[in-house]
Amino acid sequence: MIIPENDRLIIGAENIERRWSENHQHQLTENARAEILAFPIIAEEVSELLRWASRYNVPVTPRGAGTNLTGSTVPLYGGLVIDLSRMNHILCLDEDTMTLSVEPGVLLEDVQDYVSQRGYFYPPDPGEKKSTIGGNIATNAGGMRAVRYGVTRDYVRKLQVVFADGTISELGSSTIKDASGLSLKESLIGSEGTLGIITRADLKILNSPEFSRSVLLAFSDLEQAGKNVLEILSSSLNPTAIEFMNRTVVQLGEQFLNFAYPFETAGSYLLLTFDGSENVVREQLDLLKDLAEENGAIGLEVLDDPKRAARIWQVRGALCTAVEATSMQEPIDIVVPIDKICRFVRFVEDLEKRSQLQMVSFGHAGDGNIHLCIVRGQLDEDEWEEKLALVLQTLYDEAYACGGLASGEHGIGLQKRKYFLAHSDPSVIALMNGIKNAFDPAHILNKGKSYVIEQERNIYA
């Protein structure tokens, strides 16, 4: 284990104690700075750190690659940050049971590369490929392929977890079915570091699809696009991805990458992918053509040229970056039932006009997960904070009015906590805290994040 202290390295948890007196009173640190940063490399070291932190009631913030968008790895109460980025080994590929065992600090892109080189496929595909698998599990990350393949939760067979008191346990099993007691594994998935620290994950993998093809569909407006999404989802088509982008948003990406989409008179686009054997995919593309024609598509291009397909997807992928290149922005990942996407996107467009804050919305039409960047532009800090607070309140109110949720795949962290707590049933939040108390009675793990209510002080709530 390596604990950098200024420019020295200190080995072993016993040395941490030198930096932490028993009388240390932790409190909300104004600058959210941790006193100690540790880089364990095995579960036993994580255990040693947590036993120590439990003994002295030291707040602990687990951290992967730090790519989260919600402030979930900010060490709000100071204390100890456990950085898992050096636990980054792929441990075992079991081809008989189609299971890949990894350490939590392995990057998503490394998992995807490793399995694809061997003819396999790890379906969860969040946009941030440099996020860690541990972080993906802690937030139940989703991504583009959720419409067909599901989310991270669906690919976790088994977890090794270190609990707050240092106990190392195995949750879940290598079996496919499980009706043996409560599933603690399911509680850990999406718990944002509040219940335990993941030190190994056994992931389910699939065979690589033989063939894959993307299609760009153009519509005169959002409603036409939205109607097609519902028709596609309730047809026998089985798309892997259905992304939607309005023309105004696509233009941002086009300018950023200097590449033009076809059908420039379109008001709205859908970008789809189909996976399978070539015959099946070709069959699906024919069905899609018929369906789109019947439903008023004004353009359809099958992206047979891989280079062109890559460019088209690049524009979709670059939308956030295109916005960030010009201004600070607030990222949001509200999710609504799939039949409420048009309503929500129209609401955003209307709010954009009313608030005069630029809002760039696009996202996963197939699963109702809308990515929205609220752009700061030229506003000074006070004005930005004030306008943003107002707009966020309005957006989350509308999301919940649609039967939606604050987060589809990023998690709650700090940033959405206020809105999440305000819109959640208090008795449900109390039960979540009941589970927290069972797993981490002293509340040392990721204090003040997500659903966790601290007795002594409510943070950001």
Q: Write out the binding residues for its own copies, residues 182-201 only, by CB under 8 A.
A: 182-184, 186-187, 189-191, 194-195
User: Which x/- pattern, by CB under 8 A, does the window 273-302 give for its own copies?
Assistant: ---xx-xx--x-------------------
Does 451 contact its own copies by CB under 8 A? yes
Binding part of the chain for its own copies, among 75-83, 306-314, 383-391, 429-437 by CB under 8 A, reads 429-437
Contact call for residues 336 and 366 (beta carbons, < 8 A): no
Rounded CA-CA distance 351/284 in Å is: 38
Sign of CA dihedral 403, 408, 410, 413: positive
Closest distance to its own copies from the beta carbon of 423 (Å): 9
Between 9 and 438, CB nearer to its own copies: 438
Residue 351 identity: L
Interaction residues for its own copies, span 244-273 (CB under 8 A): none
Rounded CA-CA distance 415/101 in Å is: 32
Does 140 contact its own copies by CB under 8 A? yes
Pairing status of strand 241-246 against strand 358-364:
antiparallel
Residues β-bridged to residue 263: none
Q: Which of 257, 392, 432, 459 binds its own copies (CB under 8 A)?
A: 432
Query: In 235-368, which ranges are E strands?
Result: 241-246, 268-276, 299-302, 329-332, 358-364
Closest distance to its own copies from the beta carbon of 140 (Å): 5
Does 95 contact its own copies by CB under 8 A? yes
Interaction residues for its own copies, span 338-397 (CB under 8 A): 338-339, 364, 366-369
Contact call for residues 54 and 165 (beta carbons, < 8 A): yes
Q: How far is CA 160 from the centre of its chain?
A: 21
Rounded CA-CA distance 250/246 in Å is: 6
Closest distance to its own copies from the beta carbon of 351 (Å): 20
Between 108 and 322, CB nearer to its own copies: 108
Closest distance to its own copies from the beta carbon of 389 (Å): 20
Residue 352 identity: E
Closest distance to its own copies from the beta carbon of 154 (Å): 7
Smallest CA-to-CA distance from 249 within 344, 345, 338 is with: 345
Interaction residues for its own copies, span 18-57 (CB under 8 A): none
Smallest CA-to-CA distance from 358 within 328, 335, 334, 382 is with: 328
Does 116 contact its own copies by CB under 8 A? no
Longest CA–CA span in the chain (Å) reads: 72
Closest distance to its own copies from the beta carbon of 368 (Å): 5
Does 225 contact its own copies by CB under 8 A? no
Q: Which of 122, 163, 362, 384 binds its own copies (CB under 8 A)?
A: 163
